[in-house]
C-alpha cells in the first residue's frame, strides 16, 4: 500500500500509519531499547521508507517473455538512481538502500554546525560523477530545523541535479523542518515515517527519539 501526500504538504508522503509501523516506531523511540534492537527495528523502518521512495520514480511500459513463452506487459524504472547520505547519521540508512537496490552507488556529504556562526557548513562532499543524470535518494534519519538538509540539497543542485529528481528520506520530521524545506525546494519529494509535534528551545524534535546517529552507532 503506497502512502499518500499529507494534506498540508502535497510534496510530503507519510508511510501508511499501520499498527506494524507504530509498533516499530515505539521500539525506536523508547529510551530503554538497547542498541541491538534499536538497529534492528530502525533497519526495518528504513527499508519501508526506501520501498516507498521507489514508488515515486518514473517508469516506462515494457514487455518480457515468461518461462512459459508468454508475453507479460509490465513496467521498468526509467533512469538510474543513487543514494546520498548526510554524514554521519545518514550513513545508517545506506544498508537499507543496498538491501533494496543491489549495486546502488552512494555519495556522501558532511555538514556540521560552524562554531563561530552556529550555522550549518559544508565540510566534505563526494558524489557520483554522473549524478546530474540520476534520481537521488537523499538520506538523513531526522529532519529537525532543516539546516543540514538545506545545505545538502544545495550541494546537489550545484551538481546540476534537478529538484524534481531528489527524494529526501527520513524517519521523523518536525513541522518546522518540513516548512523550511518545502518553502525553499517545492519540487522535492519528502518520504517520512512520522511527523512529530515540533521542536523544543534546544531545537530537539519532540517527542523525538534522541540522537539517532549516537544510538545507531553506539556512541552515546
- Provide the pLDDT for residue 219: 83
> What would the pLDDT profile of 69-114 be if each residue is shown by its tens digit?
999 999 998 889 999 999 989 999 999 999 999 889 999 999 887 6
Burial category of 47 from C-beta neighbours within 10 Å (exposed 0-12, middle 13-18, buried 19 and up): middle
Catalytic residue among 114, 179, 214, 219: 214
Active site residue 30: no
Active site residue 35: no
Catalytic residue among 37, 62, 78, 113: 113
- Provide the pLDDT for residue 217: 94
Catalytic residue among 31, 63, 117, 200: 117
On whether the CB atoms of residues 208 and 172 are closer than 8 A, the answer is: yes
Catalytic residue among 35, 47, 145, 211: 211
| Average pLDDT of the chain, as a whole number | 92
> What would the pLDDT profile of 160-204 be if each residue is shown by its tens digit?
999 999 999 999 999 999 999 999 999 999 999 999 999 998 889
Domains defined along the chain, listed by start: 10-217 (3.40.50.2020)
Active site residue 211: yes
Active site residue 117: yes
Q: How far apart are CA 139 and CA 170, in angstroms?
A: 6
Amino acid at each position: 500500500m503506497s502512502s499518500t501526500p499529507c494534506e498540508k504538504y502535497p510534496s510530503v508522503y507519510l508511510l501508511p500509519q499501520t499498527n506494524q509501523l507504530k509498533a516499530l516506531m515505539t521500539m525506536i523511540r523508547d529510551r530503554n531499547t538497547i542498541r541491538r534492537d534499536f538497529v534492528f527495528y530502525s533497519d526495518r523502518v528504513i527499508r519501508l521508507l526506501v520501498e516507498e521512495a521507489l514508488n515515486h520514480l518514473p517508469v516506462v511500459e515494457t514487455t518480457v517473455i515468461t518461462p512459459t513463452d508468454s508475453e507479460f506487459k509490465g513496467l521498468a524504472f526509467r533512469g538510474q538512481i543513487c543514494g546520498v547520505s548526510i554524514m554521519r547519521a545518514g550513513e545508517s540508512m545506506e544498508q537499507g538502500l543496498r538491501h533494496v537496490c543491489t549495486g546502488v552507488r552512494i555519495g556522501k556529504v558532511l555538514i556540521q554546525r560552524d562554531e563561530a556562526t552556529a550555522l550549518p557548513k559544508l565540510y566534505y562532499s563526494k558524489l557520483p560523477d554522473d549524478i546530474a543524470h540520476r534520481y537521488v535518494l537523499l538520506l538523513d534519519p531526522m529532519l529537525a530545523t532543516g539546516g543540514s538538509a538545506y545545505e545538502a540539497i544545495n550541494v546537489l543542485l550545484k551538481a546540476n541535479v534537478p529538484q524534481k529528481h531528489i527524494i529526501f528520506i527520513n524517519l521523523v520530521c518536525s513541522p518546522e523542518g518540513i516548512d523550511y524545506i518545502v518553502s525553499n525546494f517545492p519540487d522535492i519529494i519528502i518520504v517520512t515515517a512520522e511527523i512529530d509535534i515540533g521542536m523544543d528551545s534546544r531545537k530537539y524534535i519532540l517527542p523525538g527519539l534522541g540522537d539517532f546517529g549516537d544510538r545507531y552507532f553506539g556512541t552515546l
